[in-house]
Amino acid sequence: MKRPRLSGDRVESRWWYWIAAVPVVVAFWLVTVAWVAFAMSVDPSFVGDSPPPFLVRLLIATPHATVVSLVAVGIPFAILIAILPLAVFQDTVAINRSETGWEPSSRNFALAGLFGLVSAVVVGVLTIDLSLAIIAGIILSVPLALYYLRERHEKLGVP
């Protein structure tokens, strides 16, 4: 059974789902970081014999929570960083073929997506730290994904 067509659903492409997954996974990761940092700061044994005030414990726990939560979310996000250039390219090609009036540059959007992937790899190689590489990918991929989705919504109505 097919889903009903939306009024602005003129493009035969579902590649934007992959693009939309980027900010969704990052939002889930941020919630995970906050939750793990809170859980680590509540346990006084985490910081030693004489626990500092709660806010200090929370600040101490946040870097550890970031690394712990990247174990769970890092691999899916690394996959999304790798798929983002292809997804943006395929979606823009489908939009251009459907003659909707909006003609996004497939090459420019794909290169912008590739920039996030390349920077993540470069940071990973230079620092030999997977968590910093993923965070670099987050910093560069999320704004592109949000910008693209906003433009797609304004021009096509979907998503």
Tens digit of each residue's pLDDT (9 = 90 or more) over 85-118 = 999 999 999 999 998 889 999 999 999 999 999 9
Question: Is the pLDDT score of 144 beyond 70?
Answer: yes
Distance (Å, rounded) from C-alpha 118 to C-alpha 127? Answer: 14
Q: According to the per-residue pLDDT averaged within each range, which of 6-10, 36-40, 56-60, 133-137 is highest? A: 133-137
Whole-number percent of the chain with pLDDT over 90: 50
What pLDDT digit, counting tens, does each position of 113-134 carry? 999 999 999 999 999 988 889 8
Distance (Å, rounded) from C-alpha 67 to C-alpha 23? Answer: 19
Question: For residue 34, how many C-alpha atoms fall within 13 Å in the half-sphere facing its CB?
Answer: 6
Residue 65 burial (CB count, 10 A): 21
Question: Is the pLDDT score of 7 beyond 50?
Answer: no
Distance (Å, rounded) from C-alpha 51 to C-alpha 54? Answer: 8
3-state secondary structure of 131: helix
